[in-house]
């Protein structure tokens, strides 16, 4: 089921996934890696946790929002919206 969701997301050219649930964030990042290796696909879909996005909207320094802890690098999607780490 997770593979189908990731396939749908990438087919629709979504840049990133934002979740409100910390467990969902972890599961999408961890499972994405497992699915990539099992099915020989590449998603490279950044998974952002909603408080990170909210922090950006509130003007908090991106370096304080834990982006370095994201397993899938978020730099490309942040650069797309003008945020540099």
Is the separation of the CB atoms in 66 and 52 below 8 Å?
yes
Helices 22-39 and 2-11: crossing angle, nearest 10°? Answer: 90
In a domain, 85, yes or no: no
Q: Which two tokens stand for residue 84?
A: 């540099």
Is 33 within the bounds of a domain?
yes
The reply to whether 48 falls in a domain is: yes
Q: Residue 60 domain-assigned?
A: yes
Residue 1 binned pLDDT confidence (cut-offs 50, 70, 90): confident
**34 CB contacts (<8 Å, ≥6 apart)?**
none
pLDDT tens figures, 11-29: 999 999 999 998 998 889 9
Whether 26 is in a domain gets the answer yes
Number of structural domains the chain divides into = 1
Query: For residue 69, what are the CA distances in angstroms to 1, 8, 41, 60?
Result: 25, 25, 23, 17
The per-residue pLDDT for range 38-81, each reduced to its tens digit, is 999 999 999 999 999 999 999 999 999 999 999 999 999 999 99
Query: Where in the sequence is the domain holding 24, given as residue range(s)?
Result: 2-6+14-80
């Amino acid at each position: 089921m997770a593979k189908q969701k990731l396939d749908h997301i990438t087919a629709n050219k979504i840049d990133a996934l934002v979740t409100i649930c910390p467990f969902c964030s972890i599961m999408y990042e961890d499972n994405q890696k497992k699915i990539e290796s099992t099915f020989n696909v590449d998603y490279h879909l950044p998974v952002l946790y909603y408080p990170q996005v909210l922090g950006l909207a509130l003007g908090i320094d991106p370096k304080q929002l834990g982006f370095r802890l994201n397993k899938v690098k978020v730099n490309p999607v942040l650069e797309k919206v003008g945020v540099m780490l």
